[in-house]
Amino acid sequence: MSEYSRRRRSIFDIIDEYFESLEAWAERVRETIMERPSWNCRTCTMEPLRDVMVTADEVIVTVDLPYAEQNTIEVKPVGKDTIEISAKMRRKISFDDFGITHHRGEFQRFHCQTRIPVPVYMDRMEIRFKRGILEIRLPRKHEYEIPIE
Amino acid sequence: MSEDVKIIERKEIPKGAVMIFGFPDVGLVGVIAASHLILELGLEEVAYVDSRLLPPVIVLHEGLPHSPIRIFGNHQILLAVSETALREDLIYPIMHALIDWGKNKGAKMMISLSGIPVQDRQDLDELKVFAAASSPEMLKMVQDKGLEVLREGYMVGPQAVMLQYCATLGVPALTLLAQCFFNYPDPEAAAKALEHLANLTGVKVDVSKLLEKGEEIRLKARDMMKRTQQELAKMRKTQEYDIPLYIS
CATH number at residue A62: 2.60.40.790
Quick one: A139 exposed, middle or buried, by C-beta within 10 A (0-12, 13-18, 19+)? middle
B125 has a chain A CB within 8 A of its CB = no
Apex A141 CA angle, A136 and A143, nearest 5? 170
Domains in chain B: ranges and CATH:
5-241 (3.40.50.10900)
Quick one: A128 exposed, middle or buried, by C-beta within 10 A (0-12, 13-18, 19+)? exposed
Establish if A103 belongs to a structural domain: yes
Q: Where are the beta strands (DSSP E) in B91-244?
A: 109-117, 129-133, 148-149, 173-180
User: What pLDDT, on the 0 to 100 scale, is given for residue A143?
Assistant: 73
User: Which of chain B's residues have a Cβ under 8 Å away from the Cβ of A62?
Assistant: 122, 183-184
Surface of A (74-103) touching B: CB under 8 A:
93, 97-98
> Do both A31 and A44 map to the same domain?
no
Q: Do B226 and A49 touch (CB under 8 A)?
A: yes
User: What pLDDT, on the 0 to 100 scale, is given for residue B248?
Assistant: 60
User: What pLDDT, on the 0 to 100 scale, is given for residue A64?
Assistant: 96
Residue of B nearest to A129 (CA): B122
Q: What is the ipTM of this complex?
A: 0.85
**In this structure, are residues A68 and A89 in contact, taking their beta carbons and an 8 Å threshold?**
yes
> Do both A20 and A81 map to the same domain?
no
> What is the extent of the structural domain holding A20?
1-35
User: What pLDDT, on the 0 to 100 scale, is given for residue A74?
Assistant: 97
Q: Please give the tally of structural domains in chain A.
A: 2
- The list of chain B residues with pLDDT below 50 reads none
Establish if A89 belongs to a structural domain: yes
Report if pTM > 0.90. no
Q: What is the pLDDT of residues B120-145, one digit of tens each?
A: 999 999 999 999 999 999 999 999 99
d(CA B172, CA B136): 10
Q: What is the pLDDT of residues B49-87, one digit of tens each?
A: 999 999 898 999 989 999 999 999 999 999 999 999 888
> Do both A26 and A51 map to the same domain?
no
d(CA A137, CA A85): 13
B234: left (phi over 0), alpha (psi -120 to 50) or beta: alpha
Q: Do B215 and A64 touch (CB under 8 A)?
A: no
Surface of A (27-66) touching B: CB under 8 A:
38, 46, 48-49, 51, 62, 64, 66
User: What pLDDT, on the 0 to 100 scale, is given for residue A3?
Assistant: 45
Of B122, B123, B184, the CB nearest to A49: B184
- The list of chain A residues with pLDDT below 70 reads 1-9, 24, 27-34
B215 has a chain A CB within 8 A of its CB = yes
